[in-house]
Structure 1
Amino acid sequence: MKQERFVQRHQAEWLALERWLDARGQARAARRQRHGWDGIADHEMPARYRRLCQQLALARRRGYSPVLTARLQRIMQRGHGVLYRTPAPRWQRIAEFLLAGFPRLVRAERGCMAAAAVLFWLPLIAVYVAIQFRPEFASAMFDPEQLAQFESMYDPERLADPERKLGRDSGSDLMMFGYYIWNNISIGFRSFASGLLAGVGTVVVLLFNGLMIGGIAGHLQAVGHGEPFWRFVAGHSAPELIGIVIAGGAGLRLGLNLVAPGRRRRIDALIDGGRRGARLSLGVLAMLLFAAFVEAFWSSIGWMPGWVKYSVGGGLWMLTLAWLWRGGRGWVGGDDDGATPA
């Protein structure tokens, strides 16, 4: 094949490769062109690069002009630099996932997340309101010993002692930190893993936890112990409750892929749902660890004024929601399992 015909046949490919390299070669340029990009898709680039290497080998073997081979060599070297550059350090990849990849995954599963939020918050709010009008409902949900324990933990008279801890009768901060880690992570794991029961298990776990939390909060508010309770939960409620909802959304995705795999084989759909759910669970794990730390070392402080606790709690709610809503928009990085910048 003559050089002119060779160039005419492949010129469009080379121009597209050069355009992709210009857009993806530097992070700043990649962020600017992330939205509205109509060039080569990132996942197509490895195959395009291999094709370019074949074309360069053909050009050399056929003795085409040095100008042409030098151009192909230059494109090949630039492509190699982008595709095979040294991966970011592990700590950087973890930070990028938590700051950008995880929020993008959450937004990509907005339907499952919305369903999980309804399943959790609707019974929580409903039972809380119901107990304010009919306090006896709490006795139907909990036995008398449990109600007495709840009341003792948040009794305003006992908490007049500045040395007493909110939310617990005994235990050091460090010991309770370990307990809260176990408790939070066990709830998050059940919310996700029970999705294997066709999603029904996740629905039950979310409903149950919503009812229990709403029942405890409603009873304490009804008997006049609400102020210490709200001071205790204000700080850690955002990462803990939102983390449980996200774990539930991951479980619903797992169950949905099992029940309705679409055109994929059921096992392939289940593997995809499990992989995405596992990545979501990593982010939930970080949220629940942070919630346990706040619960053990900050929420339990009894002498702190209520306005300080509520201010910190409100700030954490805003930061958590802003992180999930805005995190990763315009971000260019590693694979985030198909999440889209929504």
Structure 2
Amino acid sequence: MKQEQFVARHQAEWDALEQWLQAHGERARRRGGPPPVPVGVDDGEVPARYRRLCQQLALARRRGYSTPLLERLQALMQRGHAVLYRAPAPRWHRAAEFLVAGFPQLVRSQAGCMWASLALFAGPLVGLFVLLQFRPELVHELLDPRRIAEVEAMFDPADPRHALGRDSGSDWQMFGHYVMNNISIGLRTFAGGLLAGVGTILVLLANGVGIGAVAGHLQAIGHGDPFWRFVAGHAPLELTALVIAGGAGLRLGVDLVAPGRRRRRDALVRAGRIGARLCLGVAVMLLLAAFVEAFWSSTQSIPAWIKYSVSALLWTLVLGWLWRGGHGVVEDGADAP
């Protein structure tokens, strides 16, 4: 076969592989993740295309084709080898990349569910807090007497125990308690989406009502200072994580009730994958929140202005991370709505 016929037969395939490799290089420079698939090239076809390229290079050498053609095929083969047989990124690197960029991208891709979750949680919280400043007696319609007495004693500013932090042994014990409690709430919030989203809605409303009632009551009776100093530190991570878990649960419920053009099973699998990835980030956020709650929030001897300054910094970091994290990085797109 003449060289012109050989080139004409395989030129399109070489060009497609070259485009794939170029796209991979651009992606690697920006993020270091797997390449996007250019039009006309399926990701699974690349290894087979590379093997055919090696065979074509060997055939071109045996037939004595021109040096420019051999050099092009050799260069293409070397680039393909470097991509297909490179060492995979360490697991810690992939995990860090997901937390820094992939997780906030995924949260933003589910913006509708996230805003709905925020409304269901923050609406009753803020509403009840304001209402109890004008009608403090309504707290008895929301909380049982034992719970009211418990939170009043816990955050009584006249109690000298609130002037000091706990001992280190108690801090570690409470850290374990907070981890289990926070993560269990997050998982229940997400799993409630399997009940057509009703379970998630109830968990969000119940948490909003509970927190709003406690905060509003303590503020109304003059116990607000120790309460706000306690919650200020871990609230940015814990409350944001709860809203994200709620958004993941709502995504599950929406795809279960209204799968669109997908089969219900396929829609549920897709929503489950999105939710599972969101829950990984939520778990990390709740783990950090438990650490802050056990070792920082409980230390009431720290001046209030320091507590509030740290809280403002954490709110800025958390919201900025979710808003801008991974911005400008090519997104995977597999989990886009």
TM-score (norm 2): 0.89
Determine helix, strand or coil for the equivalent of 1:88.
coil
How many equivalent residue pairs? 331
Partners of 1:45 and 1:246 lie apart in 2 by 32
2:193 to 195, 217, 229: 195
**Alpha-carbon distance change, 95 to 43 in structure 1, aligned in 2, over 3 angstroms:** farther
Partners of 2:323 and 2:86 lie apart in 1 by 31
Q: Which amino acid aligns with 2:324?
A: R
Match of 1:228 in 2: 226
**Alpha-carbon distance change, 336 to 232 in structure 1, aligned in 2, over 3 angstroms:** farther
Is 2:172 the partner of 1:174?
yes
Measure how far apart 1:299 and its partner are.
0.3
Match of 2:7 in 1: 7
1:59-99, Cα deviation, whole Å (9 max, x unpaired): 64473615334422321221221233111111111111111
**Alpha-carbon distance change, 30 to 92 in structure 1, aligned in 2, over 3 angstroms:** closer
Measure how far apart 1:295 and its partner are.
0.4
Is 2:110 the partner of 1:109?
yes
Give the conservation status (yes or no) of the 8 Å contact 1:119–1:203.
yes
**Alpha-carbon distance change, 26 to 81 in structure 1, aligned in 2, over 3 angstroms:** farther
1:306 to 304, 307, 310: 304
Identity of aligned residues (%): 57
Give the conservation status (yes or no) of the 8 Å contact 2:236–2:314.
yes
Q: Which amino acid aligns with 2:81?
A: H
TM-score (norm 1): 0.87
Structure 2, gaps ≥5 residues long: none
| Aligned-residue CA RMSD (Å) | 2.8
Measure how far apart 1:123 and its partner are.
1.0
Match of 2:203 in 1: 205
Match of 1:168 in 2: none
2:264 to 263, 266, 280: 266
1:124-158, Cα deviation, whole Å (9 max, x unpaired): 11111111111111110112221111111111111
Q: Which amino acid aligns with 2:153?
A: S
Determine helix, strand or coil for the equivalent of 1:252.
helix
Partners of 2:240 and 2:143 lie apart in 1 by 25
Is 2:335 the partner of 1:338?
yes
**What pairs with 1:90-169 in structure 2 (closer than 5 Å)?**
90-159=91-160, 162-163=163-164
Give the conservation status (yes or no) of the 8 Å contact 2:124–2:208.
yes
**Alpha-carbon distance change, 52 to 92 in structure 1, aligned in 2, over 3 angstroms:** closer
Match of 1:316 in 2: 314
Partners of 1:115 and 1:43 lie apart in 2 by 38
Match of 2:240 in 1: 242
**What pairs with 1:5-44 in structure 2 (closer than 5 Å)?**
5-25=5-25, 29-30=29-30, 40=38, 44=42
